[in-house]
Amino acid sequence: MSVRFRRPAAAALVACCLAAPARAQAPDLIVTNAKVTTVDEKVPTAEAFAVAKGRITFVGTSAAALKLKGASTRVVDAKGQAVIPGIIDAHAHLSSLAQALRMVDLTGTKTLDELLQRVAARAKAEPGTGWLGGHGWDQNAWPGKQFPTKAALDAVVKDRPVILGRIDGHAIYVNSKALAAAGITAATKDVPGGRIERDAKGEPTGVFVDNAMGLVRRVVPGPTREEQRTAVTAAIAYANSQGLTGVHDAGVSPAEIALYEEMAKAGSYNLRNYIMIMNGAGLDSLLKVGPRSDLYDGRIWVRSIKVLGDGAMGSRGAALLEPYADDAKNRGLLIQSEQQIHDVAVKALKAGFQVNTHEIGDRGNRTALDAYEKALGEVPTQDHRFRIEHAQILDLADIPRFAMLKVLPSMQSSHQTSDMYWVKDRLGERRLAGAYAWRSLLKTGVIIPNGTDFPVEQVSPFITFHSAVTRQDAKSWPAGGWRGQEKMTREEAIKSITLWPAIAGFQEKDLGSITVGKRADFVILDHDLMTTPDAQLLDTKVVATYLGGKPVYEKK
């Protein structure tokens, strides 16, 4: 696998044309009058391309493309608008987004009172005795930055159980009714890799971190199969509206895989899903089946494993080499030990699977790198493309190890712009040198497949792109970007949401660029990401999203 990419010498308009060897069949679709950024170094820009049977057959000028037109060819005049390859989110949670769209939306709450008001309003609008769910709270955005307590939630909803997920998915907040339903008391013990927040008397306060969340979640009834199907369909449609043609789905259960395949087989799955099987029950049976790629007209890939290595920074669960600067007795949580990650890696290598381990803290990242190095020494594999998901906080000594071991740091640039307001409190100044260190990693020769981790962050890939090139928030703060020396260039940023995720998913022969022979996944935008001023990038809107040459979203 090559991990180095040369920048094109120039972005001149390509006058020549690259056509299929034969013209036996006229194109089904021709796109003309476009500002095409192909993300193909051989043909970096163009103004037109043609599609037949779902694949690109020509890239070049409008005049040359129109000469290929047949009686039934559809011609789309892009009217000078920008076109880029289909956007691939390299780390997302489709089922979680599907469920989040049905829950109380708590993202953006600035105070605990605002959270309580939203929960109370939903409880009033949807009365009953069943569980009430919500997602998206972040105590770091509230005055005092303290975890909430069950007493506050009891004050607004006391007659039904409530469970509210933290923005990063690594903590939940519940009321007393939920505690009672789960049988949790002061006598309930913490679980390995998890923590129950308690008051001075040892009573659970209502917040559960990482593996401790399972103590409550085990009694929460899940959605029916039909509810899941409806929710996933809505989530895919929303993803398409944001320009996504593909996702790398981080941590999928066997039951979810079966649903996705059922939908794809029926032709009702408008997304290319590179599935990471969740390490747990059912993994061994899926490994015995072996890697499966490009199923159902390229809708489903099942060839990687997701391992949850540590917790999250916001809930102080990320595993650190030294204690948290704002919690001197806490170094975070290793949810999986080095030996456990090693064992999964060996099993995966023997079965031909990729391993993608969630690690946020510097201790977590070192643990995964050590485990990978040992496993690769035992089962040498030239093209393993092992990944570390997030790789947010790195000890400087570990940065070169990614390239040395051919491990890909799969990162989410919007995490940096969400966390920059408070991460110094967690780490202190010295450890920020290895925080969200994109440029430092790129200099070693690795690529960085980029994503959103939705619904942890917003689905919008334009926030991803803006964060990557500016390291600023929507108000252009801070000047020059937070640790601006770690920015990506625009050329790197566009690759990070198109070609690099394709490489990270063994899909580069089919996806990631507008290239003759590849699948015709592309997006028409009202702003050109390569030339629009930084301050206007977040205004970018999707005009249309095409999957295999067919529109799956068109702006009304």
Q: Are 448 and 415 in contact (CB under 8 A)?
A: no
Q: Are residues 100 and 207 in the same domain?
A: yes
Indicate whether 150 belongs to any domain.
Answer: yes
- Work out whether strand 29-32 and strand 74-77 pair parallel, antiparallel, or are unpaired: parallel
Q: What is the pTM of this model?
A: 0.86
3-state SS assignment for residue 54? coil
Distance CA 271, CA 244 (A): 8
Which helix (H) or strand (E) segment holds residue 18: the answer is strand 18-19
Instruction: Say if residue 211 is in the same domain as residue 120.
Output: yes
> In a structure prediction context, what are the per-residue pLDDT tens digits for the chain, which is 556 residues long?
444 434 343 334 333 444 444 455 899 999 999 999 999 999 999 999 999 999 999 999 999 999 999 999 999 999 999 999 999 999 999 999 998 888 999 999 999 999 999 999 999 998 989 999 999 999 999 999 999 999 999 999 999 999 999 988 899 999 999 999 999 999 999 999 999 999 999 999 999 999 999 999 999 998 889 999 999 999 999 999 999 999 999 999 999 999 999 999 999 999 999 999 999 888 999 999 999 999 999 999 999 999 999 999 988 999 999 999 999 999 999 999 999 999 999 999 999 999 999 999 999 999 999 999 999 999 999 999 999 999 999 999 999 999 999 999 999 999 999 999 999 999 999 999 999 999 999 999 999 999 999 999 999 999 999 999 999 999 999 999 999 999 999 999 999 999 999 999 999 999 999 999 999 999 999 999 999 999 999 999 999 999 999 999 999 8
In a domain, 547, yes or no: yes
Biggest CA pair distance of the chain: 79
- Reduce the secondary structure of 409-434 to three states and give it as a string: EEECHHHHHHHCCCHHHHHCCHHHHH
Residue 207 neighbours by CB under 8 Å, 6+ apart: 147, 148, 149, 171, 172, 173, 174, 196, 197
The Cβ of residue 241 has, within 10 Å, a number of other Cβ atoms equal to 16
Query: In this structure, is residue 466 part of a structural domain?
Result: no
Kindly state whether residue 306 falls inside one of the protein's structural domains. no
Q: Which of 163, 184, 217 is the last residue of a domain?
A: 217
Residue 239 lies in a domain: no
Is residue 53 domain-shared with residue 125, that is, in the same domain?
A: no
Domain count, the chain: 2
Shared domain for 102 and 80, answered yes or no, is no
* Judgement on whether residues 213 and 134 belong to the same structural domain of the protein: yes
pLDDT at 22: 43
In a domain, 144, yes or no: yes
Q: Do 168 and 111 reside in the same domain of the chain?
A: yes
Strand-pair category, 48-52 with 55-60: antiparallel
3-state helix, strand, coil in the chain (%, to 5): 30, 25, 45
Q: Are residues 211 and 109 in the same domain?
A: yes
| 268: in domain | no
Q: Pick the last residue of a domain from 166, 189, 217.
A: 217
Structural domain boundaries, residue 539: 1-86+512-556
Say how far apart CA 221 and CA 45 lie, in whole Å.
51
Torsion of CA 467, 470, 473, 478, to 10 degrees: 150
Does a structural domain hold residue 58?
yes
CATH of the domain at 107: 3.10.310.70
Q: 108 and 172, same structural domain?
A: yes
Domain boundary among 217, 234, 252: 217
Residue 376 phi, psi dihedral angles, 5° rounding: -70, -25
| Residue 48: CATH number of its domain | 2.30.40.10
Residues 101 and 47 in one domain: no
In a shared domain, residues 100 and 180: yes
Residue type (1 letter), 46: A
Q: Tell me, yes or no, whether 99 and 209 share the same domain.
A: yes
Cα 58 to chain centroid distance, Å, stands at 31
Are 48 and 104 in a shared domain? no
